[in-house]
Amino acid sequence: MASEHLERQDYLILERNYRCRYGEIDIIACNKEYLVFCEVKTRSEQHKLHPSLSVTQSKVKRIRELAGMYLMKNENEKRQPRFDVISIVLNEKQEGLIEHLENAF
């Protein structure tokens, strides 16, 4: 759902579930201006907390480190990096309400 949302917003998906030995970035995408490292959080509507609230400071630190490793491996990448969070709240029919927080951290 998150990838489809980004594609509808004219982003090109470069990586899904980018992994290295230190962790994972859910989505790496780009548009003309930005290289976006995106954390995706999904919850049911019965869950009391908004999905984005589960992005902790330790998770932010890890994603930034992983993004640095990605950029070292892709040294020709010249777009401005940006860190986004996509929250998906699922209803009983598994339909999702998507919120895209750009430049979240």
**Tens digits of per-residue pLDDT, 28-67?**
999 999 999 999 999 998 888 889 999 999 999 999 999 9
The answer to whether residues 16 and 3 touch, using CB atoms and an 8 Å cutoff, is yes
Structure confidence at residue 91 (pLDDT): 87
Q: Which of 9-13, 14-18, 43-47, 57-61 comes out lowest in average pLDDT? A: 43-47
What is the Cα–Cα distance from 65 to 95, expressed in whole angstroms?
Answer: 33
pLDDT in the model for residue 88? 97
Q: Cα dihedral sign for 88, 92, 94, 95? A: negative
Summary mean pLDDT of the chain: 95
* Res 90: pLDDT: 92
CATH 3.40.50.920 fits 2-101, yes or no: no
pLDDT at 45: 84
> What's at 64, amino acid-wise?
R
Alpha-carbon dihedral angle through residues 103, 86, 49, 89, given to the nearest 10 degrees:
150
Q: Which of 37, 51, 54, 52 is nearest to 103 (CA)?
A: 37
Domain residue extents for the chain:
2-101
